[in-house]
Amino acid sequence: MSLNKNINLLFLTFFFFVIGLAQESKKQQKDSLSMQQLDEVILTGESKVMSLSKKLFSVGTIDQKDIAKVAGNNLADILNYNLNITVTPDPSTGRSTISMFGLDGQYVKVLIDGIPMASDNGMGNNIDITQINLEDVERVEIVEGSMGVLYGDNAVAGVINIVTKRGLENNHKWQLQLSVQEETVGSEYALFDEGRHIQNVKLSHQLSDKTSVAIGGSRNDNAGFFNDYQGKDYVNIQDNTVVNDSLRGMEWNPKEQLTVYGNLNTSIGKHNIFYKIQYYDESVPVYNHLVNGRLDPNTGMPNPTALDENFDTERVMNNLNITGPLKGSTVYNLSLSHQTQKRYYKQYVYNILQQGIESVIADDLSQSSKIWYSKGFVSNMVPNTDFFNLQLGYEFNHQTGFDAIATGEYSSDVVENTLENYDFFGVLDFNITDRFSIFPGARFTNNSQFGNKLIWSLSSTYDFSNSFKVKAVLGSAFRAPNFEELFFYFVDSNHNVQGNPNLDPEDGLSVFLNAEGKFRLSDSSMLKTALKSFYFNIDGKIASIISTDDQDRNLFTFDNVDRSQILGFSLENSLMMNRWQASLGVTYMGESTTIDASEGISSDFLWSFNLQSALSYSIPSINTALSAQLKYTGRSQVVLSGTDGSVVGQTDDFTWMDASARTNITKDLSITLGARNIFDIVRVNASDTPTGAHGSGGAPSRLFGNGRSYYLKLLYNLNFN
C-alpha cells in the first residue's frame, strides 16, 4: 500500500535527521532541567479557557503524567479510569463512545481547546474517542453537569476539554520527541499483522521569547482483535463445498489512524495568539463473517468471496484562539475554527482464495460536513468592585453537510442540510461575603432547526475555610436531535421508517451538591476528600414510536416522549504521602426511565455501583515510577421497551485493571512497560443488547475489551539549542 510506503519514507527521513542531530547534542547534555523549572513552566503555560467553569462547576483533570502512566495514545486509553465515565466500544464499526452518568455519548460534548470537535455525527457530541490523539495534549479536563450556559447544545452530562500543549517545557530552543509503542491485542501479537503498533514524532522550536512552533505526527496501526475469528483470508472448504461456520473476519476490525498536527503560539504585546492545524485520517475495514460459496461454473471448484466494507474518515481542523486584556483587568477570549470532515464508504467483493478485491460495488463519499465556528467572551467586565462582576459572550456555528448512511439507503433526500445557531450568554458574579458567592447565568440560542431556546444556570459556593468548601450547581442544557432522528428515510412496501424533522431538543437539568475538603496530615502528606451528590432530569427524551401516516399505514418514527431521571452520590479521596500517591472513589447511581411520559408510569430507580482506585509509587534512586489503576464497573440496568411492554435489561459487572512501570534509562530515554486489562475482560454478559448480534449465538453479551494486553513504549526526548 502506498500509504505505508509513504510512512516508511517519512520515518526514514527522520531517522537520518535524528542521527545527525544526536551527534550535535552531545555537547548539550549538561543543561539538565531541575524539577522546579518544569513546575513553573506548567503553571504559566496553563490556558485560561476553563478558568470560569472551575468556579462554576467541578472540574477533574487528567494530566500528562497520568497519560504517561497508562501509555495512552488516544482518549479511549485513559478515560476508562474516570469514576463516572464508561467507554463502550462497538467492535463492528471500531468506534468507541463514552457514557457519562449513564448518559450516552450524545449527551457529552468534546472540545479541543474549548472548540467543539467535528465528528461523524455532528459537532462536539457522540465522538469516537479513539480518534482523539494524545500526543500533543497538555491535559484533559472533565467537567461534570449540564453546562449549557457556557458550552451550548449537547453539554448535558458534561464536557471533556482537550488542552493542547503550548510552547516548550524548558529553556531549550529545540525539542525532538520520538516514541514507539508496541502492544499486544489480548495475546495476539506479530510484528506486522497482529497487535498494535504506534509511532510518534514531534518537533518543537522556540523561535523567540514570544513565539514557539511545533509539528508532529502520530500513527496508530491497530491490527484488530481476532478472538478465535480467523481473519479475512479464512474459508472452510469441505468436499469441494464452502461451509459457512461464521469464523471469517475479526471480532474487532483493524483500524489505522494517522494524525498530523502543527501549532504556533505567539504573543503580540499582551495579546496571545494560538493557532493549531490538525489532519486526521482513519481507515477501518469491516470483514464480513459470511462467505459466499459460489462455485466457478468452469471448474466446479469453490470460488469463495465475501462482501466487505471500508470506512475512511478524513478531517482537517484549523483552530485559532486569541486572548488578551481589553481594558485594565477586563480580558477577552476569541476563538475561530474551520473544520471539515469527510467519510468515504467502500463496499467490495473480496476473493478469499486469490486474496484480492474482485469488484467494487460502491466507493462513495458518504458523509461530509463543513463547519465554521466562533466563540468569544469578555470576562471581568466590572473590575472595580469586589461584589459584582459580569461575563458576556457569544457563540456562532454554521454547519453544512450530508450523511447518506444516517438518512438511509432509500432516501431520495440525501441533500445538503445546513444548521446554524447564534447563541449569546452571560454569567453574573455576586460575591455576597468573602465566603459566599452566587453565579447566575443564562444563554439564549437561536437554532435554524428548532428555533429559540433559553437555558440557565445557578451556582453558589460557600467556603467554610480555605480547605473546606461547599458548592451547589443548578444547570440546564439540551441535546439536539441527531441527523438520523431528523432525516432518516426508509420506505418501501414492507417498511415505513422515517425521521421526524419536527423533533424538539431534549431538555436536561442537573443539580450538583459538592463538599470538598483538604487535610494536611503531616509535612509530606495531604488528603483531599470530595463528597458529591447529583441529580439529572431529561425531559422529552427522543424515542422510536409507532404512529400512522396520512395513508393510515404504520409509521415507525421518533418523538419526544420519554423521560429519564438519574440520582447519584459519589465520594472521592486522594492521598499524597512521600513517594506514594493513592486515590479511591466510589459512586452509587440510579436511573429511572419513563417510557412514553404521557402515560406517566416511571420505572423504579435502577442502581449501579462503580469504584475506581489508583496507586503509584516512585523510586527516585532508579528513576522509576510504578503505578496501577483499577476500575470496577458495577452491574448496570436499563429499561427497554419490548413488544410486551417494558423490560429491564442489564450488563453484568466487570473489573478493569492496568499496571505499569516507567523508568528513565538515560536523561533522554525512557521506557514504559505495562499491562492493560489484567483481569482479561473480553465479553460481559448483557441482556440489554439485541440478541443474535453475535454470530455464534449463545448468551447475549457486550464486548468491552480484547483481553489482557502488554505494551512496551520507548520514548526518546532530545533537547538542544
Partner 1 sequence: MRKTILLKAIALLLIISSCSNDDGEDLIDFTVNFSSETVGTSEEDTTKEITLSFSRPASEAGTINVTYTGTNADYGTDFTTTPDGASGTIAVSVAAGDQNASFTFNKLSNAIEGSTKSVTFSIDSFDQTDWKQGAKASTLVSYTPVAATGGVVDTENGGSTIPNQVYFDFSSATQIAVQRDTWEIALYNGTENRVYLNSALAVSAVEITGETDLLAITEASDLPETMDLFTYSFISQQMEPVSVSTLAGLLEGLPVGYEQYGNLDEGISFTDNAEGTLEGTAFSEVSTTAEENYVYIVSLGYEIPTEPAETGSIATTGDHRGFMKVRILGDGSTYTIQYADLAETESYNEVTVSKDDAYNLTAFSLSNGETVSVEPTKAQWDINLSGVFAYYGSQGPIVAGLTYSDYVLHNTLGDVGLYQVTIEEGVSSYANFSMNDVDESAFVYDNRAVVGSGWRDAFGGVVNENVYYVLKDGDGNYYKFDFTAYTNTEGERGHYQFTYERL
Rg of the chain (C-alpha set)? 26
* Spatial distance between the Cα atoms of 631 and 655, rounded to a whole number of angstroms: 6
* Spatial distance between the Cα atoms of 341 and 326, rounded to a whole number of angstroms: 35
If the CB atoms of residues 178 and 503 are measured against partner 1, the closer one turns out to be: 178
Sign of torsion, CA 460 465 466 467?
A: negative
Chosen residue from 32, 666, 696, 721 binding partner 1 by CB under 8 A = 666
Chosen residue from 197, 202, 479, 631 binding partner 1 by CB under 8 A = 197
If the CB atoms of residues 575 and 714 are measured against partner 1, the closer one turns out to be: 714
Question: Closest approach of Cβ 695 to partner 1, in Å?
Answer: 9
209-248 residues near partner 1, rule: CB under 8 A: 219, 221, 223, 233, 238-244
Chosen residue from 76, 178, 567, 639 binding partner 1 by CB under 8 A = 178
Q: Tell whether residue 300 is a contact of partner 1 (CB under 8 A).
A: yes
**x-marked contacts with partner 1 along 479-498 as a string, rule CB under 8 A:** -------------xx-----
**x-marked contacts with partner 1 along 495-534 as a string, rule CB under 8 A:** ----------------------------------------
- In degrees, to the nearest 5, what angle opens at C-alpha 318 toward C-alphas 314 and 323? 155
Question: Closest approach of Cβ 514 to partner 1, in Å?
Answer: 45
Q: How far is CA 652 from CA 186, 408, 552, 608, 703, in A?
A: 21, 33, 42, 10, 12
How buried is residue 245: exposed, middle or buried, by Cβ count under 10 Å (0-12/13-18/19+)? middle
Which residues, including other chains, have CB under 8 Å from residue 376's CB and lie 6 or more apart? 332, 333, 334, 335, 393, 394
Choices 96-104, 194-202, 333-341, 562-570 (CB under 8 A): range interacting with partner 1 = 194-202
Q: Tell whether residue 611 is a contact of partner 1 (CB under 8 A).
A: no
- What is the total count of residues that contact partner 1 (CB under 8 A)? 66
Question: Closest approach of Cβ 674 to partner 1, in Å?
Answer: 17
* Spatial distance between the Cα atoms of 388 and 106, rounded to a whole number of angstroms: 36
Question: Closest approach of Cβ 302 to partner 1, in Å?
Answer: 8
**How is 232-284 classified by DSSP, letter by letter?**
TT---EETTEE---S-SB-SB--EEEEEEEEEEEEEETTEEEEEEEEEEEEEE
Residue 359 near residue 334, CB atoms below 8 Å: no
Chosen residue from 84, 119, 199, 272 binding partner 1 by CB under 8 A = 199
Q: Tell whether residue 180 is a contact of partner 1 (CB under 8 A).
A: yes
Question: Closest approach of Cβ 12 to partner 1, in Å?
Answer: 6
Residue 476 near residue 445, CB atoms below 8 Å: no
Q: At 47, which amino acid appears?
A: S
**How is 567-616 classified by DSSP, letter by letter?**
EEEEEEEEEEETTEEEEEEEEEEEEEEESSGGG--BPPPEEEEEEEEEEE
Which residues, including other chains, have CB under 8 Å from residue 226's CB and lie 6 or more apart? 188, 194, 250, 251
* Spatial distance between the Cα atoms of 574 and 530, rounded to a whole number of angstroms: 9
**x-marked contacts with partner 1 along 410-449 as a string, rule CB under 8 A:** x---------------------------------------
Q: At 211, which amino acid appears?
A: T
Question: Closest approach of Cβ 681 to partner 1, in Å?
Answer: 26
Among 255, 191, 257, smallest CA distance to 218 is for 257
Question: Closest approach of Cβ 160 to partner 1, in Å?
Answer: 29
Chosen residue from 11, 535, 569, 588 binding partner 1 by CB under 8 A = 11
Choices 2-10, 36-44, 73-81, 644-652 (CB under 8 A): range interacting with partner 1 = 2-10
Question: Closest approach of Cβ 533 to partner 1, in Å?
Answer: 47
Say which residue the cell 465528528 belongs to: 119
Residue 653 near residue 631, CB atoms below 8 Å: no
Choices 73-81, 193-201, 557-565, 578-586 (CB under 8 A): range interacting with partner 1 = 193-201
Q: Tell whether residue 301 is a contact of partner 1 (CB under 8 A).
A: yes
Chosen residue from 8, 524, 544, 578 binding partner 1 by CB under 8 A = 8
C-alpha cell at 631: 476500575
13-52 residues near partner 1, rule: CB under 8 A: 14-15, 18-19, 22-23, 26
How buried is residue 150: exposed, middle or buried, by Cβ count under 10 Å (0-12/13-18/19+)? buried
* Spatial distance between the Cα atoms of 277 and 318, rounded to a whole number of angstroms: 5
Question: Closest approach of Cβ 556 to partner 1, in Å?
Answer: 15
Q: Tell whether residue 134 is a contact of partner 1 (CB under 8 A).
A: no
Residues that bind partner 1 (CB under 8 A): 1, 4-5, 7-8, 11-12, 14-15, 18-19, 22-23, 26, 178, 180, 182, 191-193, 197-199, 201, 219, 221, 223, 233, 238-244, 290, 292-302, 305, 307, 349, 353-356, 358-359, 361, 409-410, 492-493, 666, 668-669, 714, 716
